[in-house]
Structures are given as structure tokens and as C-alpha cells.
Amino acid sequence: MTKDHTEGLTRREFVAGLGVGALAMLASGCVPRPPLVSSNPSGFPTSEQLAKSELRVYNGQKLDSITASRENSIEGPQYVDKKSWRLTVDGLVDAVKTYTFDELIAAFPADKQVHRLDCVEGWSETQLWEGVRVADVIKASGVKSAAKMVILHGHDGYTTEFPVGYFDESHLLVYKLNGVDLSAQRGYPLRLGAWSKWGYKWIRWVERIELSADTTYLGYWESRGYSATGERSQPSL
Ligand SMILES: Nc1nc2c(c(=O)[nH]1)N[C@H]1C(S)=C(S)[C@@H](COP(=O)(O)O)O[C@H]1N2
Ligand SMILES: [Mo]
């Protein structure tokens, strides 16, 4: 979904307005693909360039190309400068922490897993997701007992929320897909993998992890009518 579609409409209204035929098209995947990258400042490899060295099979599992996603970001792809980028963990923590990208990678062990991302628009992609464990990063700051929610903030102003207990040892803050760096479109330098959730919980361009007592907080799509838990085993609307 592009920003234009949502102006003056909630995504629920937009989806409702599509009608049955268009929904069937969405479900069958025959939707015209917008260009993957709207404009590409020099120095940022495109998904297509990165895909030349991507893995397409891992441990016998077939992987979709990193170019398979449909651009639907609220403000378009973000071109984040890795050198000035920081990840901050703050809010109801014992110690506020700020990491450069290299500090983050050095501080926590890496893991990789194959998972499928499902967007509520009706498309999916299965890829190899590699990064550091969210739970490790949160734990390193010390969570105060009053903290009930984890609110993640993206460079484009996007947010999404989870109960403090959601992240187990599998969930990752991802910096590689199919064995290559994230492209700007896919969330460079860091995005979330929230395996049991709909795609709108897999926030890209993460720069802040906030521990909060506010159990009523709703993120970008959650505040526009989408399920707050966002479990993909349940309807998103
Ligand atoms: N910061 C940010 N994260 C975001 C979004 C966004 O607009 N901004 N869109 C979400 C939605 S709706 C989906 S389906 C996934 C798509 O991720 P992908 O492009 O890597 O497949 O990103 C999610 N994360
Ligand atoms: Mo989505």
C-alpha cells in the first residue's frame, strides 16, 4: 500500500473499498508491481544489485529472492546512513544504551533462520533472516518491573508495539537477508523479524527500542484498525 492510498482513509477503509474482484486479484498476487526503489541515492545498492550474490536455498529450503517484496512503506524506502545511525534502548530500563552498528554486532551473538513474511495485502516471501536476538538486546539494558510494552520506532516515524514477554530466543533484529546486507528498501541497516506476526509488525529501519508502561499504546497500523497483537494465525482486521 502506498501513502497515497491511505491519505484520508484508514487501511481498513481502503481494503474494504477495493471490492471483491480487487481482493481476489490481491489474493492471487496479480497486482502490478511498483518500482522497488523510488529514488536511489548513490552509495546504496539496490535490492537487484544485492540479489546477484544472495542465497536461494538454505539447508534444503527454497528461498524467495530479496527482490520479491512489494514496496508499501508509509514514507517510501529510507536511506539511512549507517555511520550516523544508532540503536537506542530507553524508557523503563535500568541503563539507557546506545549502539553504533558495529557495537551492536560485536556485543551480541548472531543467529539465522528461514521464515515467511506475510503482508495483509495478500503476498508472502520466504527468506533467510540473520541478526542478533531482540531479547538479548533488551535484557542488556535491564527491564524495570513497571515496563509492560516494547515499542519499536523506525526512521520513517513508523512504530509497532509488543508485550514485554513476546520476544523469545528466536526473534531477531535483522541485518542480513539471504546472506547479503539488507537493501535500503528492506530496512537497512536494521529491522525486526517477528515470526508469528503479520508483516506490519516486522518494522524496518529500527532506531529505537522503548520500554513502556503504556498498555494502550498502538503503533502505526494498529492505530488505524489493524489487530494490535497482529498474530497471523488470526485475522488482521
Ligand atoms: N518502518 C517501517 N517498517 C515497516 C513498514 C513501514 O511502512 N515502515 N511497513 C510494514 C509492512 S506493512 C510490511 S508487510 C513489511 C514489509 O517488509 P518487506 O518490504 O521487507 O517485505 O514491513 C513492515 N515494516
Ligand atoms: Mo504489510
pLDDT tens, position by position, 139-174: 999 999 999 999 999 999 999 999 999 999 999 999
* Cα–Cα distance for residue pair 145/154, rounded to 1 Å: 25
Ligand 2 centre and the CA of 142: distance in Å? 31
pLDDT at 39 over 70: no
The pLDDT assigned to 99 comes to 98
* CATH 3.90.420.10 fits domain 11-34+47-224: yes
Tell me the average pLDDT of the chain: 88
59 in Cβ contact with 114 (< 8 Å): yes
Residue ranges of domains in the chain: 11-34+47-224
* pTM exceeds 0.75: yes
Cβ atoms of residues 66 and 106 within 8 Å? no
Query: What is the tens place of the pLDDT at every residue in 96-113?
Result: 999 999 999 999 999 999
- For residue 74, which atom of ligand 1 is closest to its CA? 7
pLDDT over 50 (residue 14)? no
Q: Say whether the peptide bond before residue 109 is cis (omega within 30 degrees of 0).
A: no
Q: What is the mean pLDDT of residues 220-227?
A: 98
Q: What is the band of 40 on the pLDDT scale with cuts at 50, 70, 90?
A: confident
Judge if the beta carbon of residue 156 lies within 6 A of ligand 1: yes
The number of helix segments (H) and strand segments (E) in the chain equals: 5, 12
Handedness of CA 128, 130, 136, 137 (dihedral sign): negative
Tell whether the torsion through CA atoms of 227, 228, 234 and 236 is positive or negative: positive
- Judged against a pLDDT cut of 70, whether residue 2 lies above it is answered with no
Instruction: State the ligand closest to the CA atom of 160.
Output: 1
pLDDT band, very low/low/confident/very high, at 128 (cuts 50, 70, 90): very high
What is the distance in A from the centroid of ligand 1 to the CA of 207?
14
- When pLDDT is cut at 50, 70 and 90, the band that residue 29 belongs to is very low
Say if ligand 1 is within 6 A of residue 205 CB: yes
pLDDT confidence band for 93 (50 / 70 / 90): very high
Q: Give the percent of the chain with pLDDT over 90.
A: 82
User: Separation of 140 CA from ligand 1 center, angstroms?
Assistant: 26
Predicted local confidence at residue 115, as pLDDT? 98
Please give the sequence-ordered ranges of beta strands (E in DSSP) within the chain, or none if there are none: 57-58, 61-62, 87-91, 97-99, 110-118, 124-133, 149-154, 159-163, 172-177, 180-181, 191-193, 206-212
